[in-house]
Chains A and B, each alone.
Chain A
């Protein structure tokens, strides 16, 4: 029915606009990783920090900082060539939840270096969090 599908569309747009799925993924990951005794209180504390960060403009402590990103790059680049293949790069972004399956990334044929990887991960994370 027309009415139903427009509400569904509305709902999907809402999810995308506010990046709800990314937020929920982040919250669920945090819960499973840190496994606090009181899950609700923990979630509330994360959300409060997010809210304050947004209001005060302070940078929010992301899940992965630069050393984590570098470590991940090293795992992917096991033969220490200094760069990873384009496929690996795309898969890594997907695993981190930073790009969707059908997003088209440019392949400039040179392989991705560590700095480029770090820059891209930071840029995308920043994009997502700036919504909050």
Chain B
């Protein structure tokens, strides 16, 4: 075809025009930007700053923002613990406070403050009436939360808010917790428990005659029975609690967790601690780049297909990619062919070139990808990582060897229609078809054993390389596994264990 230079120029200009027209061109965002955004939680940073600006509405936003950024307290604990009397709230709150190095606030501690005139007023009121008016309590909370240590190290509210009115008042002041824990247990258990409650007057720690008896005899001798633990008293307070809690819970829809308190204290604490250390799902834009690892027969291809179908990710199967390259007779395909024909492994750098070509395409960059079949060992993983292809979710599918054998050795193909069957999970409909089914030599038991051994030899190093990978039990039905994978992708990664 002969095209004059002027022709080419015109076509080039048209192409450029079409490409650069501000109204229609898709934005080609370099992948470093979203990767940086995800790694540094830029969205959450901006969102937190905006929240603070809207709550306080400072006249001078810029110095306010500078202060906010310097304080760097976006992730300090902001916890509310609620629960009926005798549920162990105070104990859990104290333990959390010590563990997270944060400040504990309760009605008693607020009233007992020495240097606050509000607290003095509150003490007077409490002495006369045995309760505090809502406004006074809320103002006490506000005052306390403004102090430097609460700003820097966070806070844990024990038993506050007590009523819906208090909850709303606290909210309008711009105080919002990130985690709300509600302890719950049957009333009978609570009434009984309360009868055994003892307090150490020196430390304020709460003990119990049956469940939590201090070992040191000197503490034992100090313990006193607190007021208001008789059956009648507890029952009355429970009544009040049930009436109030029901109206408080709707104020904290997404950050609430109910923990059953009818179990050993340490178990409750464990659950509470795990919960307050999880980050909630944010609205940050997120392009999943998922890596699925596992021995053959673990279900990688199936899960990848499900993910691609539901979330629009691009399904990149390494083996498939190489075969397509050969079929297309592309330049890489010609390089790969001799290795395939001799049944030798294709060298890493050739695989990487083919893979790069696919992952750099616009649809992968825009929609995200789910990769499986590569990398299979540490060297391949390093290679991929070095070139900048870093998955943001890695899953290891664990399947016991017997299940692998069952899944793979019963695979059959119908030579006439090309349809694939499985003698247990997807049996052929008629005896006629079953008679002519053939098994692929790759699915023989020796082959499977060889390849599974190969995988496990390399998997320990791979797991070490991808430190924040999620390991799943692949020995379940596909949709259960899929749900686990989904929740692994959608929820933020659990914090790194130091």
Contacts and interface: CB of A to CB of B under 8 A. Distances in A.
B22 A88 contact: yes
Interface stretch (A31-39, A62-70, A102-110, A120-128): A31-39
Contacts of B57: 10-11, 14
A78 B42 contact: no
B61 A23 contact: yes
Interface stretch (B64-72, B437-445, B473-481): B64-72
B333 to A, nearest CB: 37
A31 B37 CA distance: 8
B17 interface: yes
A44 B16 CA distance: 40
Contacts of A32: 33, 36-37, 42
Contacts of B45: 39-40
Contact of A40 (B13, B17, B53, B72): B72
Given A40-B69, A47-B62, A11 B46 contact: no
B20 A76 contact: yes
A51 B66 CA distance: 10
Contacts of B65: 43, 47
A47 B33 contact: no
B49 to A, nearest CB: 7
A24 B54 CA distance: 13
B63 to A, nearest CB: 7
A35 B62 contact: no
B70 A20 contact: no
A79 interface: yes
A59 interface: no
Nearest to A92: B22
Contacts of A33: 33
Interface residues of B, number: 28
Contacts of A88: 21-23
B61 A18 contact: yes
Contacts of A20: 50, 53, 61
B32 interface: yes
A79 B32 contact: no
Nearest to B59: A18
Contacts of B66: 44, 47-48, 51
Interface class of chain B by DSSP: helix
B130 interface: no
Nearest to A54: B62
A27 B49 CA distance: 11
Q: Which of A23, A27, A28, A47 has the most CB of B within 10 A?
A: A47
A78 B62 contact: no
Interface string B16-37: 1100111100000000110011
Interface class of chain A by DSSP: helix
A47 B23 CA distance: 33
B22 A76 contact: yes
A48 B32 CA distance: 27
Interface string A81-122: 000000110011001000000000000000000000000000
B283 interface: no
Contacts of A91: 22-23
A87 B16 contact: no
A91 to B, nearest CB: 4
B40 interface: yes
A9 to B, nearest CB: 12
Nearest to A31: B42
B40 A39 contact: yes
A58 interface: no
Contacts of A78: 13, 16-17, 20-21
A112 B46 CA distance: 35
Nearest to A132: B62
A75 B49 contact: no
A34 B20 CA distance: 24
A74 B50 CA distance: 36
A20 B53 CA distance: 9
Contacts of B23: 87-88, 91
A33 B16 CA distance: 24
Contacts of A47: 62, 65-66, 69
7 contacts: A14-B57, A23-B61, A35-B33, A35-B36, A40-B45, A75-B20, A91-B22
Given A32-B37, A44-B66, A78-B13, 4 more contacts: A33-B33, A39-B40, A40-B69, A76-B20
9 interchain residue pairs of minimum CB distance: A78-B17, A91-B22, A32-B33, A35-B36, A75-B20, A14-B57, A47-B66, A51-B62, A91-B23
